[in-house]
Every structure is written in C-alpha cells, then in structure tokens.
Amino acid sequence: MTDRPEKLYMIIPREYNLDTNTLKMIERVRKKLIRFRPDDMNFANPANSSEYFRRIGKKMIEEDARSHNIALAPADVNSYSELLAKYTTGLGILEDILSDTRVTDVYINAPADKNPVHVLIDGDECITNIFLSQDDLDSMVSRFRAISGRPFGEATPILEMELKEFGVRVSVIGDPLSANGLAYAFRKHSRRPWTLPKLIATGSISPLTAGLLSFLMDGETSILVAGEVRAGKTSLLSAMIMEIPQKYRILTIEDTREIPIEDLQELGWKMQGMSSRSSILNTNLEIRPEVALRATLRLGNSSLVIGEVRGEEVKVLYEAMQVGAAGNSELGTIHGASASAVYERIVHTLGVPPASFKATDAVVVCTNTRVGGSMSKKRRVTQICEVVSGWDETADANDIFADIMEYNAATDSLVPTDILDRGQSELVGKIAHKWGISIDTASLNIRIRGKIKEKMAIAGQTNPDLIEAEAVSKANNMFWLYMDREKNGSEGPDYENVYQKWSDWFDKFSSTYI
C-alpha cells in the first residue's frame, strides 16, 4: 500500500466474475440445497458432507437449468456444483485464501463487517480486499462445533480444533471474550513435513546447526524447543523427529494435532499419537494431558514427544525423566523467548523442582526475527544451549545454561561458541561417553552430519523434492546404514569414509530422483 508500510493481498474468486443470471440460479439452488439433510449422513465429517453437496447440487443445477431454459455445458455444471459445496459445507471465500501455498495464517477480527481479513505471507502481515459478514462467521462456528464435538457459547467462549481437510488449526473466540462478535484465527500446517535440509534452505538454521541437532537427537537427549507464537517451534520439532532412527518407537501427546504423524508413519517411523484435553477449554469430554502422559509411560520404552509443555503434565514428565522411565529421548515445545525464560516458567510458574529441571539436556530457541530491521519477520533458531552440571536452586541462568550456538544478527546466522569449537560441551561429551568415543570424534560426527545436510540443501536448489521428507528419510537411513557398516574399533566408524560413501550414493540417488 502506498500510504502505510503494509502490503495489500488482492483476491478475485471466479464466482465474482459470473453474470447475474448465473448467480441467481446458484442462489436458488443453494437455498433448496441447505434444506436437504439425510438422516444417515454424518455432517460432522467434512469430506462426506462436501461430496454429498457436490452430488446433490449437480442434480439440482441441472433441474433448475431445465426449468428456466438455461443451457449449461457439463463443465459448467461441475464448476457450479463445486461452488455450492464451497458455500454450504465449505469455508466459502476463505478456501481460496487457504489454498494459496504462500499464506500461513488468516485472521478475522471482530466486528467482521468492519475489519478486512488479514493474512500472513512469508512473515509479512497483509491486509486483504475481503470482508465477511457476521452470518458467515456464525455459520462457520456452528459447523466447527459439530465437527469438533467441543462446546462453544457464553459459558465456553473459546473453540480450538483442527480442520484436517484444509490442513489448518482453527481458534475461535466469542462473547463475552470478544464483545463485538466472533473472531477467528486459521493457522496452516505445512502440507509436507519439515526437514533439517529444508530449514537450511529457508535460512532458519545453518548446516552446522543441523548437524548438531541431528547428533543430539541420535544421542537420545531431552530437548525443549522454545519460542514465541509462530516462531517455528513445531516445524523444527517435526524436523528433529526425523533424526530419530526409525528402529525406535515414538509416542506423541497433543491437544490439537500438528505433528505430521501419518506422513512420518508412511515413511517408516514407528509413531503412536495420543490426543489430550485442550489447555484452554478444560472440558471433561477429553483426557487430561497428565493422564495421557502416564498412559504413554506404560506403553514401553519409546521416545516421547509432547506437542506443548504447559500444565500439570510437566511435573509427571520430569518425574519420569529423572528415573529414566520416559524412554529413549524426550522432546517438547514451550513458550519462552530464551533459555532463562524457559527455566523461570518451568520452575517458578509450573512448579517443577530445580533439581528435576536438571533432567533437561538442552534448550533450542526459535525467534521471529526482523532481519536488518526490516518489516518482514523471518524464522530463525537463535540459541542452542545445554544445561550444565554443578548448580543448585540458588543459581541464576548464567550458572544453569551454557550456549553451544548463538545468533549473530550482523551475519543473520547461528554460530558455534567456544565450548563447541574447543570440544568443551558437557552434553556432547556425555553422548561421546555413552557411545564410547572421544570428544574429538564426536565433534567430527557433528560436522559430517552438517556436511550431509548442507549437500542436500544445495541439491534442493535444483530439485526441491530432495529436501522433502521422503528423500530426507531415505538419505538418513543410508547414513545410519553406512555408520553401521563402517565400524572401526573402539572409536567407531571412519566418518570421512562414511561421508564419501553416502555422498556417492546421494549423487546417484539425486540424479534420478523425480
């Protein structure tokens, strides 16, 4: 826009270009269509209801066209039936916005008829040319309530749910929280799981950061991924999960599903997802997070992933971590702008004893950064720190954490600190001791992993599919395979030889990968 530092997102749906007679016909059919509701149809299932309205709408359009002597081509009938489904059981014009792969978030502020829809594209908040009516919003929340099975009204003025069909997480607030009417937020999930090479390609992490994270995940550590809203916590978490060898089972707990469990299962990971009660709604219709966590601890040795650490389940988690009952590794996301903020929240707000917090191995911080002071925000990992030993409950953050990597704003990159460069990291040393290798060998392991991720990211510039989950899962499996084949005495594999063999394999793989 020319009069303020905000961009305008323009959209003109195809129905806006239809002639008046066609629009009248579609509206006549729509009014008839909304009165049809078969008793055996499950309208809480969006896929079922959409298909039903397409099929019945097509018949009604043909009947209306005949009765009004309107000539329609078969392609027109199909197109108009899609529009009917879109404006009856779908999201209306919001479907056009959500179908744009560049859009990550959609916001509707109350009152809707006076506030345009806002979207977020690549870190830029944009105003749109779209206004919705209160009737539109009322109709949507009625459908969302039916689909989710969750209550919504004055007693419970908040609704959170997932719309799997559109790949979005929806949050709705109403009266009395929003006195001017309903307000919505739609947060899109990535259509494909995030990977470390893809995060390198977007500038979120460096190759060495990817190598370190891969090493920590393989080393069965306990990591909290912290950050503000929309900082990329779950995206990074999903990418880190892919660095867990596929031979290990993974259990997840989420109140609203965001981790791409089905995609990872199809790629070979042994994952079991569990749903827990929403932290906001707190109804008796769903399982409390701490109960879900205790259930996972009885399911055997597994890596444990908690979608968001924020309530009573935290105490249960740390109890399990202290006695080693949680499994191979523990991961979770938490709101916090720094490692010290995470400590303050877990210990002083959520009531976990300081001694229990020592079960945390590392904290990774994600940030929405305005690179160079620009108006656009970019997702960056800005801190990776380890929890050191030898402190008590009187210690401050400087005594509890040691930065392994820190963000350099001048170069817009995460750089290693002296403790990583000089081999002084306690956490890397702990993994090295567990694996029976030297700290120098562990450092080489990290850098070899970084070289592998970097090579994939570079290849992705030519063929973007090479940094997607399917290709990355195959590349990771080959790395682990060569690591096993190249074992060389007590110091483990010859890492340079592992990299060379993997590199030769990847060159052949990438040249034919479609």
Which pLDDT belongs to residue 284?
54
Could you report the per-residue pLDDT of 211-224, keeping only the tens digit for each?
Answer: 999 999 999 999 99
Residue 232 has pLDDT above 80, yes or no: yes
CA distance 281 to 289: 13
Residue type at position 248:
Y
Report residue 208's pLDDT band, with 50, 70 and 90 as the boundaries. very high
Q: Under DSSP, is residue 234 helix (H, G, I), strand (E, B) or coil?
A: helix
User: What average pLDDT does the segment 187-196 reach?
Assistant: 88
Could you report the per-residue pLDDT of 93-110, keeping only the tens digit for each?
Answer: 999 999 898 898 999 999
Which domains are delineated in the chain? 1-90 (no CATH), 100-188 (3.30.450.380), 196-511 (3.40.50.300)
Helical packing angle, 439-462 and 426-435, nearest 10°: 100
With a pLDDT cut of 70, the percent of the chain lying above it is 87
Residue 227 has pLDDT above 90, yes or no: yes
Which pLDDT belongs to residue 202?
93
Residue 3 has pLDDT above 70, yes or no: no
Residue 487 has pLDDT above 80, yes or no: no
E strands, 280-410, in order: 303-306, 330-335, 362-369, 378-387, 401-408
Report residue 296's pLDDT band, with 50, 70 and 90 as the boundaries. low
User: What average pLDDT does the segment 437-466 reach?
Assistant: 95
CA distance 101 to 30: 29
User: What average pLDDT does the segment 442-468 reach?
Assistant: 96
Non-local (6+) Cβ contacts of 31 within 8 A are none
Which pLDDT belongs to residue 162?
84
Report residue 280's pLDDT band, with 50, 70 and 90 as the boundaries. low
Residue 116 has pLDDT above 70, yes or no: yes
CA distance 33 to 37: 9
In 3D space, the residue among 386, 76, 359 whose CA is nearest the CA of residue 216 turns out to be 386
Residue 325 has pLDDT above 60, yes or no: no
Residue 405 has pLDDT above 70, yes or no: yes
Report residue 204's pLDDT band, with 50, 70 and 90 as the boundaries. very high
Residue 268 has pLDDT above 80, yes or no: yes
371 or 266, which is more confident: 266
User: What average pLDDT does the segment 82-92 reach?
Assistant: 85
Which pLDDT belongs to residue 189?
80
Q: Highest mean pLDDT: which of 61-65, 203-207, 396-400?
A: 203-207
Which pLDDT belongs to residue 203?
93
Report residue 473's pLDDT band, with 50, 70 and 90 as the boundaries. very high
304, 251 contact by CB (below 8 A): yes
User: What average pLDDT does the segment 438-453 reach?
Assistant: 95
Tally of CB atoms within 10 A around 133: 11
Residue 362 has pLDDT above 60, yes or no: yes
What are phi and psi for residue 24, nearest 5 degrees? -65, -40
Max Cα–Cα distance, the chain, nearest Å: 86
89 or 506, which is more confident: 506
Could you report the per-residue pLDDT of 156-188, keeping only the tens digit for each?
Answer: 899 988 888 788 889 999 988 888 889 999 988
Q: CA 35, 38, 39, 40 torsion: positive or negative?
A: negative
Given strand 303-306, what is the order of strands in its sheet?
Answer: 270-275, 249-254, 303-306, 330-335, 222-227, 362-369, 378-387, 401-408, 413-416
Could you report the per-residue pLDDT of 31-65, keeping only the tens digit for each?
Answer: 887 776 655 555 556 666 778 788 888 999 999 89
Could you report the per-residue pLDDT of 304-319, keeping only the tens digit for each?
Answer: 888 777 766 677 777 7
**Average pLDDT of the chain?**
86
Which pLDDT belongs to residue 212?
97
113, 134 contact by CB (below 8 A): yes
251, 277 contact by CB (below 8 A): no
Q: pTM for this structure? A: 0.81
Which pLDDT belongs to residue 34?
74
Report residue 378's pLDDT band, with 50, 70 and 90 as the boundaries. confident
